Chains A and B, each alone.
Chain A
Amino acid sequence: MESTAQQPIVTMISGPVVKARPAHRFSMNEMVEVGDERLVGEIIDLDKDLATIQVYEDTTGLRPGADVYAKGLPLYVELGPGLMGEIFDGVQRPLEILRGKWGDFIRRGKTGTALPRDKVWQFTPSVRPGAMVLPGEILGELPESHLITHRIMVPPGVQGTLEHIVPKGDYTLDDVIAVIRSPSDKIHELKLFHRWPVRKIRPYRERLIPSEPLITGQRVIDTFFPLARGGTAGIPGGFGTGKTVAQHQLSKWADADIVVYIGCGERGNEMTGVLVDLPKLLDPRTQRPLIERTILIANTSDMPVAAREASIYTGVTIAEYYRDMGYDVALMADSTSRWAEALREISGRLEEMPAEEGFPAYLASRLAAFYERAGQVVSLSGKKGSVTLIGAVSPPGGDFSEPVTMHTKRFVQCFWALDKELASARYFPAINYLQSYSVYISAVEPWWTEKVGNTWRTLREKTINILQEDSRLQNIVKLLGEEALPDDQKRIIEGARLIKNDFLQQGALDPVDTYAGPEKQFLLLDVILHFIERLADVVKARIPLFRAMELPVVAEIHRLKFTQRGDDPGPFKSIKEQIDKEINALLHRQDSL
């Protein structure tokens, strides 16, 4: 055999799929570099002679015979300080640095490290030399942003005696900050960062059952289809129904400690929008710019498709890393359908047997495995943290019976179905309240009852009853018109209209309405229901309903969501009193006629 036979070479190129031989030089999921430009790729299939590589960059000009370099590691991310507030592509290339290097357009090839090596961090150790340390144990901390204290942990899989740890001081990522001798006498030199393979879930001690709501400040979600910390949610909807705005709203207002936002195969300008907005918006709890708690992953639709497939894993691995420090992390993926399509494209080039609509048969198991990475856990260090996963789904033709939506529905606990008809009337958020659901309602009920209002449950149920009754009546209205209904049924229609316009509908662009805390949600709904209940008296007194709907207080109710933030219950209380006063006056006038 010639000596060059050992150097692996490219044998075939078809878009992002490249074959190389000899296969025995690689291991499954190993990272490789291809050709003179050292394009980054990953081994995704090995057979007798040939290895299949998924290349994360454009392969134009690559030739058979080009060298392939095995890196000896699976596809990984760097986990350490320097992630917060940054924007990376799907394989964790820092986009700001790329811009500095190449200008406004993304080129290909080697780029240096994901995390900055020259930046200095002020590390404070919290363990003494000589201690026995276990995987995941916290060795010390450093301020990463104004909002986030970064806890330096022993990487999973490493344990032993702490032979050495540096004193409090300034360190860079290249400095060794601790030395651990394992029971088998192996020496581990630890730095402020470590690497972790993206396709492998990070270990934890114990999984908890989600029971605390993740407040999003979006009324229809929090009050009707609540999300729990460590839970999962899917947002399916055709184009223009509001998936991205919903994800942006959640990334702005969700009361998580940290947000990971993945733009997966979507528009470049949407990432730009986030980059423009987040530094300007303040976290309602901490009054710090939201960007300080946010990490962005952008693999837009025009960027290489294989890196799009990886972007989801890059994001969720980073989320798990902060979870392990004890943070509540919320991850938005917009859109999981683009990720699934990337799978399909690569599978097609591998000439695998397709299942439904050309998707590979493993689509369902990959989706399941992704959502399985959500959860509230006790981490290896004993801290409670969570990863909440919220995935947008983009069904072709808006048809929810397609494979990605169907499978997602099986694996998520909240389903926020977006409705084309609502969106075309510019009724937002266009969440269809008859099709949507959340399994966390009873889990979060104690929280609402204790913290917000003890009538939360009845309030919620009454509202839902009205909405359901309304949708039944609307079928009649469609055929016969509203005039055909008796007044007690008209009351339901009018009541539902108030709920829809003054509670469910929420303007993302209005400076006040964009965020509604739990108190405001409760108070507002309480006012609206009070009015609907008093309408029953009007009906009983045989007063035409429209007279009640013309009362001045109705306009006051309309205005509440735009004017009140909910920290003061006073205005809500006085509107309730005004409702009573005006309705009583109406009834009284009728009596005296």
Chain B
Amino acid sequence: MKGILEYIGLDRISGPLVVISGVRGVGFGEIVEIVPSDGLSRQGRILSISEDVAVVEVFEGTSGLAQPTTRVRFLGRPFEIIVSKEEVLGRIFDGLGRPLDGGPVPFRGERRNINGLPINPVARAYPQDFIQTGISAIDGMNTLVRGQKLPIFSGSGLPHNDLATQIVRQARLLTEDEGFAVIFGAMGVRHDEAESFRRSFEKSGVLKNVAMFLNLADDPTVERLITPRIALTVAEYLAFEQGMHVLVILTDMTNYCEALREVATSKGEVPSRKGYPGYLYSDLASIYERAGHIIDKQGSITQIAILTMPDDDITHPIPDLTGYITEGQIVLDRSLAQRGIYPPINVLPSLSRLMSDGIGEGRTRKDHANLASQLYAAYAHARQVQRLASIIGEEDLSATDKLYLTFARKFHDRFLQQGADENRTITRTLELGGELVMFLPEQELTRLKPEEIDQYGRIKRLAVSH
């Protein structure tokens, strides 16, 4: 068996990295304990190892370490945590999985490597169970399904936390209580944000089903690389061993990516876009792909990651690579928020890639897909008309385009806008959508079938236009 090896003295300290020479019998990716002379030990991980030199990233940072006196213990195993249902749910931990709630360190469960393993694609079951979130812009146009990874692309100061907690409050209603868990992973968020999440879980009575892993804004940066992996390791255990439906909330992935960049820069790696390492895509995928359903297993992992787009720029590498990996995105929009619209979801860049399999006859309603498509087409055109109207003025618009302006207004006020506690049924959402498209002339409704137009009330519309 691999034993514990101990060395004294560091060769070099650089940013979050330390270099130790003369090391033997140590494996790549294994865990290291760094013990400074003051005795308070820190944890780290081996980033590269050669016959005589080991490079270690220190999760808690290197500040205060002294070269000659620091002791380094190589533990001969990768980063592992103990997973269990009883000892983890209803608890709060720090970003490395150590209790913050005064409770005991979990010890009775199973030890698991936090990096997890890739799910064999042939073992996956295609996610297709509709989750009603009670939010029209999501349920109607960007439907969430169980086992999906659907992030929220936000900007600083936008109400992503409110939206996420509203989803947690409202979405669980469709699932059986006992089989439901929320795993919350915070990376670099402010204390009050974490606290407001906790309070909201408490208010909705789910706290006993929640485990929180908190790396707060003033906690060590490098630790952020570990936190989401701990959260997902617990989630995998609950979903695939305990058969629970698990919702994982990870916030803020932008802080995670910045931590990754910091380590890469300290290593002197060749950066790709905006200084982020070339492997940011693969690294993010190793987090986001840990969601889904497995054939013959009861549980599932649904992942809602929150990220703030630097400069509200959706082409920034963090949202960009995230969108390339996740199964869609919900995009929040500053101008909608400024107009007082909640939730300020811009549906045009938003997408749920798993929507088509989660909706339709027997799931939501037969016409759902066409209605959503029509709403998209109409809203996209309405936004163009708004732009045109700002140039030539409303009066000079064609009669049809004027109707599009009305459509846009109604779309914002009736469909998008809803209360932070308003839980709309899918039936109500689709009803609203049907009413909206009826503000447009029939020739414009090219995405709908004639019988669908009938269903939304052709008669009523004719009555209005005459």
Residues on A facing B (Cβ under 8 Å): 11-15, 19, 58-65, 87, 95-96, 98-99, 102-107, 238-240, 263, 265, 267-269, 271-273, 275-276, 298, 300-303, 305, 338, 341, 344-345, 348, 351, 354, 357-358, 394, 396-399, 421, 424-427, 477-483, 501, 509, 549-550, 554-555, 558
Contact = CB atoms under 8 A, between A and B. Distances in A.
B196 interface: no
Contact of A65 (B51, B116, B124): B51
8 contacts: A19-B50, A64-B24, A265-B281, A301-B285, A305-B282, A396-B317, A426-B380, A478-B384
Interface centre among B49, B120, B279 (most CB of A within 10 A): B120
A549 B349 CA distance: 31
Contacts of A305: 279, 282
A107 B446 contact: no
Interface string B376-392: 11001100100110011
B273 interface: yes
B354 A302 contact: no
Contact of B446 (A240, A399, A558): A558
A265 B373 CA distance: 29
A61 B373 contact: no
Contact of B351 (A240, A303, A479): A240
Contact of B270 (A107, A272, A354, A554): A354
A338 B281 contact: yes
Contacts of A13: 27-28, 48-50
A287 B120 CA distance: 30
Contacts of A15: 28, 48
Contact of B292 (A95, A269, A399, A426): A269
A406 to B, nearest CB: 15
Contacts of B47: 14
A51 to B, nearest CB: 14
A341 B281 contact: yes
Contact of B126 (A265, A272, A424): A272
Interface stretch (B176-184, B208-216, B255-263, B394-402): B394-402
A269 B273 contact: no
Interface string B4-26: 00000000000000000000111
A344 B115 contact: no
Contacts of A59: 28-29
Which of B48, B49, B78, B122 gathers most chain A CB within 10 Å? B122
Interface residues of B, number: 83
Given A268-B292, A302-B286, A358-B272, A481 B401 contact: yes
A432 to B, nearest CB: 15
A11 B23 CA distance: 12
- Tell me the dominant secondary structure on chain B's binding face: mixed
Nearest to A353: B270
A87 B272 contact: no
A263 B121 contact: yes
Given A12-B49, A273-B126, A358 B278 contact: yes
Given A14-B48, A64-B49, A267-B325, A481 B29 contact: no
A425 B121 contact: no
Given A60-B78, A63-B49, A398-B315, A105 B121 contact: no
A239 B443 contact: no
B29 A60 contact: yes
Given A63-B25, A95-B120, A348-B269, A424 B349 contact: yes
B356 A509 contact: yes
B412 interface: no
A290 B122 CA distance: 17
A396 B123 contact: no
B343 interface: no
Most buried by B among A14, A65, A424: A424
Given A13-B49, A354-B270, A426 B377 contact: yes
Candidate in B273, B292, B328, B446 with the most chain A CB atoms within 10 angstroms: B446
A275 B295 CA distance: 13
Contacts of B320: 238-239, 396-398
B87 interface: no
Contacts of A549: 443
A303 B292 CA distance: 16
A61 B30 contact: yes
A12 B48 contact: yes
A246 to B, nearest CB: 14
Contacts of A14: 28, 47-49
Nearest to B147: A269
A23 B392 CA distance: 73
B78 A344 contact: no
B139 interface: no
A481 B377 contact: no
B353 A63 contact: no
Nearest to A245: B353
A75 B424 CA distance: 57
Interface in B282-310: 282, 285-286, 289-290, 292, 294-295, 297
B348 interface: yes
B262 to A, nearest CB: 17
Given A63-B25, A63-B49, A425 B392 contact: no
Interface string B49-62: 11100000000000
A558 B270 CA distance: 54
B125 interface: yes
A449 to B, nearest CB: 31
B126 A269 contact: yes
A105 B117 contact: yes
B328 A240 contact: yes
Contact of A63 (B27, B115, B127, B351): B27
B285 A99 contact: no
Nearest to A423: B351
A19 B52 CA distance: 13
A87 B387 CA distance: 49
B324 interface: yes
Contact of A424 (B327, B348, B387, B398): B348
B68 interface: no
Given A105-B117, A273-B126, A341-B282, 20 more contacts: A60-B113, A63-B26, A64-B49, A104-B120, A104-B297, A105-B118, A106-B118, A268-B118, A272-B122, A275-B122, A300-B285, A302-B286, A305-B279, A348-B278, A351-B270, A394-B324, A397-B316, A426-B376, A427-B377, A483-B398
A354 B24 CA distance: 32
B373 A105 contact: no
A276 B126 contact: yes
Contact of A99 (B30, B120, B353, B376): B120
Contact of B124 (A239, A268, A348): A268
Contacts of B95: none
B119 interface: yes
Nearest to A351: B270
Nearest to B317: A396
A302 B289 contact: yes
Interface string B92-109: 000000000000000000
A480 B443 CA distance: 22
A269 B372 CA distance: 23
A481 B48 contact: no
